[in-house]
């Protein structure tokens, strides 16, 4: 299942990336979703920056078929690797979201560029659930939480940048 979305921040690409690469921001964005527990790390790797967040969430509110497969809680690990900045401050990134021990994963690309109200981030991902007979249902069930997490990050980021 393809997941694409875009959002804007009222700040320069340099300021937006500085926020994204701040471990305190990563903690704030994860905490906004009220996980049971979480960790985050930001690691420079040569000319790239790797950002990893991991959160344990409750499966309360998930469809019954999903809860029966994964239990009462689930670990979601997001890994983003950003490139170095271009002359105009733009960056590209790769994203992987691994959902617990389930055979559910999202791989995609990110693009951070000047645009919109200051900086635009485009997300383009492919969500796959390799579950016999139920793959499509699992993907559909995972789509809304993934989009909600992206929306929550944008909301937290806008407040962060506003001071």
Structural domains of the chain sorted by starting position, each given as residue range(s) with its CATH number in brackets: 2-162 (3.30.530.20)
The predicted structure's pLDDT at residue 148: 83
Residues in the chain with pLDDT values less than 50 = none
C-alpha 37/C-alpha 56 separation (Å) is 5
CB neighbourhood size of 29 (10 A): 24
The predicted structure's pLDDT at residue 139: 76
pTM of the model: 0.88
> At 70, phi and psi to the nearest 5?
-115, -10
73-91 CB burial, b ≥16 within 10 A, e <16 = ebbbebebbbeeeeeebbb
pLDDT digit string (tens) for 74-98? 889 999 999 999 999 999 999 999 9
């Amino acid at each position: 299942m393809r997941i694409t979305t875009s959002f804007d921040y009222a700040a320069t690409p340099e300021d937006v990336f500085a926020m994204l690469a701040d471990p305190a921001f990563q903690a704030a964005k994860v905490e906004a979703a009220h996980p049971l527990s979480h960790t985050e790390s930001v690691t420079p790797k040569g000319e790239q920056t790797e950002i990893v967040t991991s959160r344990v969430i409750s499966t309360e509110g998930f469809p019954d078929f999903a809860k029966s497969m994964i239990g009462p809680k689930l670990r979601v690990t997001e890994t983003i690797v950003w490139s170095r900045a271009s002359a105009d401050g733009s960056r590209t990134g790769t994203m992987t979201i691994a959902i617990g021990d389930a055979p559910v994963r999202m791989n995609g690309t990110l693009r951070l560029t000047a645009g919109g109200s200051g900086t635009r981030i485009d997300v383009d991902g492919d969500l796959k659930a390799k579950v016999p007979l139920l793959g499509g249902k699992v993907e559909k069930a995972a789509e809304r939480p993934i989009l909600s997490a992206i929306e929550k990050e944008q909301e937290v980021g806008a407040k962060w940048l506003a001071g």
